[in-house]
Amino acid sequence: MRIVVVGGVAAGLSAASRARRIDPSAEIVVFEKGKRISYGACGLPYLLEGQVRSIEQLVVYKPEFFEKERNIRIRTESEVAAVHHGRREAVLASGERVRYDRLVWAAGARPARRAAQPRVFRLHTDEDALRLNEFLEAERPRTAAVAGGGYIGLEAATALRARGLRVRLYEASTALLHREDAWLTKRVTERLEQCGVELRLNEPVDPESLEAGVVIDATGLRPNVEVLEQAGAALGRTGALAVSEHMETSLHGVFAAGDCCEARHIVTGRPVWIPLGTTANRMGRVAGANAAGRRERFEGVAGTSIVRVAGLAVAVTGLSQQQARREGFSPVEAVVEGRERARYFFGKTIAVQLVADRRSRRLLGAAVIGDDGVLARINTAAAALAAGMDVETLAGLDLAYAPPYSAVADPLLVCAQQLLRLLDR
């Protein structure tokens, strides 16, 4: 059996590796249109900032590893331009035709706009980051404009400010990180302003027209679905590829994983498109297993993520109050502030938000913001979402305590207790 995988980063290589473990005899070929495989795209802002010294530090494995250690053939700079599923055939941009028995489409996403101006850059791929770094070193701009207040926009603004540029960030909506929480946006705004980033909310812009020495267009992504759509694969309500719980598209024997396809949200049960590297890896494992003959299920996503903004950790999972209301819930929200560890161990303030449904008392979402102690608490909330916990169960969790690591009254549990009081009104 020949398994062809399109995409050589997170989802694609997870799929190829999982398929190899299940079927040692399969012929597995990975096509990647870029020059590199298996690199950490989430580290690109830190390359820009200077914490990562070279792009090679972000490369986890080179093609030789997969070919020698896992018997997986890797072909870089090889773009799949068409799929003829009736003939079980993928066609490369070069015109070469490749037969497959099973296909895994892990072609990711791309920026929603194309850059026309030489000083306008994206920060999506390794080549994007290299071009941007070369421009910054050669031209030495003093000012920067960033369009987009999502993860990439905020990380890029932080990185450029760390390099000494005067930075102005534009966001079309009134909220940052696509999270309609005024308290969250307020805290992130305060931190950005403290580090010298000028923020313009509710101001849609055309990145090409911005006046600055360098411009970062972080206005959004679009899933790479056109080739499979032309082959007959169905798209979902989000515009990404529709897949079953087994990560199979509407084309039998064609699977999809990563930023090109939808996933089921574990809170709402509805399809969503949330492009994240962690999700891509998990999807890839299931898609690869099933391409190799298994029947595994992908359990879904909660959109759990964390981002560093000028040293401030901002983490979310599940639904905000506004998102929950749009999904038909009757949401109740609590926000508390506390110390992430004992005061005499220099504990810093941390803010926790929890959202629950008034009718079922089920936890729907959470957000945590602070300088320290954020990761453990958002992961606990994400686990509670996956377990379908109600707020009473969350408030009663037996969490660890020691003064160097936590507060005796953990802010997550304090917030859950506050939410219980609101639910009981």
Task: Tell me which residues are annotated as active site.
Answer: 42
Cα 183 from Cα 179, distance rounded (Å): 10
Cα 129 from Cα 238, distance rounded (Å): 28
Helix (H) or strand (E) holding 105: strand 102-105
Q: Which conformational region is residue 321 in: left (phi greater than 0), alpha (psi within -120 to 50 degrees), or beta?
A: alpha
User: How many Å separate Cα 243 from the centre of its chain?
Assistant: 19
Bridge partners, 263 (sequence order): 272
Within 10 angstroms of residue 165's Cβ, the number of other Cβ atoms is 22
Q: Which amino acid is at 235?
A: L
Cα 177 from Cα 179, distance rounded (Å): 5
The conformation of residue 416, written as its DSSP 8-state character, comes to H
Q: How far is CA 359 from CA 329, 356, 362, 364, 424, in A?
A: 8, 9, 8, 12, 11
Closest listed residue to residue 362, CA positions, set 325, 326, 330, 336: 330
What is the strand order of the sheet 2-6 is part of?
73-75, 27-31, 2-6, 102-105, 254-256
Are 353 and 290 contacting, i.e. CB atoms less than 8 angstroms apart?
A: no
Within 10 angstroms of residue 69's Cβ, the number of other Cβ atoms is 11
Within 10 angstroms of residue 167's Cβ, the number of other Cβ atoms is 26
Please give the backbone phi and psi of residue 217, each rounded to the nearest 5 degrees, phi first. Answer: -95, 105
Cα 265 from Cα 425, distance rounded (Å): 29
Closest listed residue to residue 35, CA positions, set 63, 12, 13: 63
User: For residue 13, with 0-12 CB atoms within 10 Å meaning exposed, 13-18 middle and 19 or more buried, which class applies?
Assistant: buried
Q: What are the b/e assignments for 326-345, b being 16+ CB within 10 Å?
A: ebebebbbbbbebbbbbeee
